[in-house]
Amino acid sequence: MTPTPKKPTNWGRTSKTVSFWILVILIPVAFLSYNGGRETQAPEIDYTAYRQQLDAGNILGVIFQPENVVAGQFRQPVRVNNREARKFLVRLPQGLTPAETDRLQNRGVRISSQEARFSGISFLITILPYVLLIGFWVFLFRQMQSGGNKAFSFGKSKAKLLSGDTPKITFADVAGADEAKVELQEIIEFLKDPQKFTKLGGRLPKGALLVGPPGTGKTLLAKAVAGEAGRPFFSMSGSDFVEMFVGVGASRVRDLFEQGKAHAPCIIFIDEIDAVGRHRGSGMGGGHDEREQTLNQLLVEMDGFESNDGVILIAATNRPDVLDPALLRPGRFDRQIVVDLPDLRGREGILKVHLRNKPQSDDVSVTSLARGTPGMAGADLANLVNEGALLAARKNHDKIYMSDLEEAKDRVMLGAERKSLVMKDDERRLTAFHEAGHAVCAMMVKGNDPLHKVTIVPRGRALGIAFTLPEDDRVSVTREQLEARLVMAYGGRAAEEIVFGHNRVTTGAASDIQQATGIARRYVTQWGLSDTIGPILVGDNEQELFLGREMQSRREVSEQTAQLVDAEVKRVVMEAHARAVAVLTENRPLLDIVAAQLLDRETLTRDDIILLKDGKPLGPRPLPDGLPFTPTPTAIVPPSPRPIIPPLLGGPEIAPA
């Protein structure tokens, strides 16, 4: 039988606490004893003053002590060293001679002597301050060395070794990254049975780099590897290497791999490796800085003169573009495992993982929820399920219903509702027409994603939202879809101009204009969709500069080309705006009825707008208490014939009715 492990005691922590309080108590006691002893000790006088007081008959008695010291007492107090004293100490130059004894007897002084003996208390009082000072420094050093401080062991690695009592995460807890799981499973097989692969001439991989956007589960995959491998697993963050002291990072890298070799075969995981593995030469202060020394040591440890067999390094980053090429070459990171955003099947698996231990209603459709969350990472889906559970608890539900998850989805994707914000009637009517303009353009222009929901309930920083969702996962976007997206973006501004006139156009379209201008500029400069500019890249990269690399290689754009790009971006934007005005002018009755229903219901779905477009009445609206409500009859506007709107740059046509 395996012996039951003993529970760790708190003796070490208790002893430190007791030692601390002993020091706190003894230091003041020693200080007071030392100073108090000095204050009560008899003052020492010189031999001349002693003879004067003796000749004056002011000495009552004396005690002869070793080393020719005489302790005496005055008959009347004498001022010595600016204070009154009744006792004194004097050192006789020639010791106790017969003449000195006769002189004392003639003056009527009582004479006695004291034998030399060792006084332990006096000795302790004398040396106690020094003992306490030395003990305090020893205690301080031990405190600095213990626990997580390690103030005098800067070069020691901060890697944490996962112990057996750590809750294990396995591959069953990870979904949506099947290809990455296969790659990592092979590394685990290497650790468990190396002979299976080495007998055919294969070698153990040195490292695996997990690359992907934030929230896709890179760290979770590393935890699953730790749970599946059954081997020692060291985890460390990239920011733990470099600190304020020179040489600390390189020393910690050496210590980390020494610990790894002592526990080989093992796995070392470094999260956010871009903190230490950035491209060398990117610093403004030259190439010999502390971070580069750490990177150099990491390169040597991974594949240098000495081999580290049995030590596999797994790292994670969402910025592979800034990593040093020497770090990414085969022999160091043999595999780069892409952990991308999950597809439809992956989102279903992730939602099932997060819902499996939660009570849920029978109406919960994981497939429907996964279809409505394209582009969401694993962390977003986990947050969605958690928000659904919190909403269900807030409503006192005994389980999670589909309505809770749908409301949580809107909360995560669109923002929380700001029901406390009270708008004036004019602002509310203007917002309704603005969002109705987006919705009508989304419905009537071919190439747009299906409209999901339009609402004038303020969410986040927006006063209203018209939201579209793609039917399937999309890898690339066509020219038709981009131009339709531009038309929808300007639908709100166009509706304001048509209904209220140019003088009452508001600033509510600021985010729409920003989004449309960004799409139009990339349309012209990066995607090569402009016939005037052609399929060329204008400007290397408009992303954030990476100092030390892009500053030297960045190409300038000529003034003529820049003017041409600006003119082409403006043309694309203005044509999209003109097309939005034409679409809404043609469908003005639908725009009015959608805005009226938004003012009445505040939120409309795609099915509601399809009914309005077809001239059909809307169904009953549920009240907050769940009772059905039948609205007053609304005038049905029959669809009017629509002229053909010329496409933008050969782009989308108007969707047929």
Catalytic residues: 435
- b/e map 299-324, b = 16+ CB within 10 Å: bebbbeeeebebbbbbbbbbebeebb
CB-neighbour burial class of residue 48 (10 A; exposed 0-12, middle 13-18, buried 19+): exposed
Length of the chain: 657
Choose among 331, 252, 336: nearest CA to 295.
252
Choose among 218, 270, 217: nearest CA to 240.
270
Answer whether 524's CB lies under 8 Å from 568's CB.
yes
Residue with tokens 């006792």: 87
Could you tell me the two tokens for 208? 């695996």
Q: Phi, psi at residue 397, to the nearest 5°?
A: -80, 150
Q: Cα–Cα distances in Å, from 586 out to 106, 344, 654?
A: 138, 37, 11
Residue with tokens 């997580």: 148
Q: Cα–Cα distances in Å, from 517 out to 388, 469, 487, 583, 646?
A: 35, 21, 12, 20, 21
CB-neighbour burial class of residue 541 (10 A; exposed 0-12, middle 13-18, buried 19+): middle
**Other C-beta atoms within 10 Å of 439: how many?**
31
Choose among 548, 555, 551: nearest CA to 525.
555
User: In a 3-state reduction of DSSP, which class is residue 208?
Assistant: strand
Sign of CA dihedral 411, 416, 420, 424: negative
Choose among 301, 162, 166: nearest CA to 233.
162
Residue 482 one-letter amino acid: L
Answer whether 523's CB lies under 8 Å from 537's CB.
no
